[in-house]
Amino acid sequence: MKNIFEDHGDYIELNEAIGKIKMITKIDGKMSWEAAEVCAKNSKIGGFSDWRLPTKEELKYLYQIREVCIGLDLSKTFWSSSDENCRPDCRWVVGFVEGDEGPSCVDLEHFVFFVR
């Protein structure tokens, strides 16, 4: 079986991009959405400075390949960069329990990883 990623320690580099994603960081803990946005913008992981939160659609796709590619923990819910249009104080989260999605208030804490 062909290896589809290379593990660099703090991040994973995909041999073939998934949409706009070429690299994925390791899980960076649990935090509010605002803290996650700041962490992504300030991150210099691997010497790169253009890390961001994945979109809801990217998270849903990564959920589908989690075991093959990145081994993400199935019991965590992750922040996305996607707005929840009806509530300005909410953003979309995607759970890696069953791939479920839904809005969450930005002051609550969920897990994060960054993509570029």
CATH number at residue 68: 3.10.100
Strand partners, 104: 91
Total domains in the chain come to 1
Q: Tell me whether residue 100 is in a domain.
A: yes
- Which domain does 56 fall in, by range? 5-111
pLDDT, one tens digit per residue, over 7-58 is: 898 888 988 888 889 998 887 789 999 999 999 999 999 999 999 999 999 8
Q: Tell me whether residue 57 is in a domain.
A: yes
Mean pLDDT calculated for residue range 79-84: 89
Q: Tell me whether residue 38 is in a domain.
A: yes
* Whether this model's pTM surpasses 0.75: yes
